[in-house]
Amino acid sequence: MEISVRRMQEMREHEYLSPYATFSDRSKGRRIDEPQCDIRTCFERDRDRIIHSKAFRRLNGKTQVFLTPQGDHYRTRMTHTLEVSQIARTIAKALRLNEDLTEAIALGHDLGHTPFGHAGERALNSVCPGGFEHHLQSIRIVEFIEKKNGKTMNLSWEVKDGIENHQTEGHPATLEGKIVRLSDKIAYVNHDIDDAVRGHIIEEKDIPKAYTDILGNSLSSRLNTMIHDIVSNSEGKNDIIMSDKIYDTMQALRKFMFENVYTNPIAKGQEKKAEKMLIDMFEYYVEHPEALPEEHRNAPEGRERAVADYIACMTDRYAVAKYNELMVPTGWQVF
């Protein structure tokens, strides 16, 4: 019997990958069983489904840190996701872990993010019964909201576990998920410094020397230090580990960013407006469900959840356009 391309890839995984890797042919499967692809492993298939989804494309129009920045080189939620993927794949490849699973988790980890970044998340969390958290919304996207020909994305258990547990307090079940969890923080701390310097919020010399002496004084040197530290401390182990020195310094750098960038009144001056805009729209759609697109009118948890799902799917630009359409009066002409 001829062996499929997929099966040959699965066999190669057992020959090359670390014994601590997650093997494609040992996946816990999908919520809804379906025939295997004859070319792609289950994790390659998940990666492709994420890349070809509408939710993934919308990331290009969603805020990372700076709301509506005037410039083409600031990160969006899409470019953040791609940088997380690149970092995570580098680490997974060096440790001989499953690069396809790692990439799928990384590409899908922020699918549920709102317009206007964490400001939008705070807004929906304040009005949606049961609260709103973007990592859980990402699971709603792949399990319930995103559909093609009436079918959901139906991702594998391992990919969904990594997406759901990418938060700081998360506990991914796979080493590949643990890589993405750390890579997310490595990516945003470093690229947010780059954007903040570009936006004249801080200067590179503002970063305490105690941190740059350990991590480096440029984007590339800091990434190099952190990635090498994870690889050297995790090699041959059933865990993904940073040394205490590098991890503690990264956390200190993250705290510096919160104090000087993430709460900076110049960088964040528009966030209250964005929060109010989303809250006003939430209240409007709850009162006028007929104004929702048909595919967003029902959710098992009720109308408020359906409205939150719709607003969370919006890009920044679309949210502003809908707000103007719903809330801003327009003139009329008599001919």
pLDDT value for 270 = 85
pLDDT value for 332 = 67
d(CA 144, CA 42): 20
pLDDT value for 334 = 66
d(CA 294, CA 285): 13
The CATH T-level fold of domain 5-103+146-268 is Hypothetical protein af1432 (1.10.3210)
Confidence band for 333, pLDDT divided at 50, 70 and 90: low
Place of tokens 């008599």: 334
Virtual torsion, Cα 296, 152, 165, 136, nearest 10 deg: 10
The region that residue 130 occupies, defined by phi over 0 for left and psi between -120 and 50 for alpha, beta otherwise, is left
Please give the average per-residue pLDDT across 195-205, as a whole number: 92
Please give the average per-residue pLDDT across 21-49, as a whole number: 97
pLDDT value for 283 = 98
Percent of the chain predicted with pLDDT > 70 = 97
Q: Is 128 helix (H, G, I), strand (E, B) or coil?
A: coil
The domain segmentation of the chain, as residue ranges, is 5-103+146-268, 112-139+270-325
329 has pLDDT over 90: no
Please write the tens of the pLDDT for every residue from 148-195.
888 999 999 999 999 999 998 999 999 999 999 999 999 999 999 999
- Residues 105, 163: contact at Cβ < 8 Å? yes
pLDDT value for 299 = 87
pLDDT value for 79 = 96
Burial of 264 by CB count in 10 Å (0-12 exposed, 13-18 middle, 19+ buried)? middle
- Residues 101, 155: contact at Cβ < 8 Å? no
pTM: 0.96
Mention every residue, 6+ apart, whose C-beta is less than 8 A from residue 41: 6, 9, 10, 13, 24, 25, 100
- Residue 229 has, within 13 A of its CA and on its CB side, a CA count of 22
Mean pLDDT of the chain: 94
Place of tokens 């998920």: 177
Structural element, H or E, at residue 52? none
- Residues 210, 248: contact at Cβ < 8 Å? no
d(CA 39, CA 34): 15
313 has pLDDT over 80: yes
Residues counted in the chain: 335
Please give the average per-residue pLDDT across 301-312, as a whole number: 96
End-to-end Cα distance, the chain = 77
Beta strands in 168-255 (DSSP E): none
d(CA 320, CA 328): 11
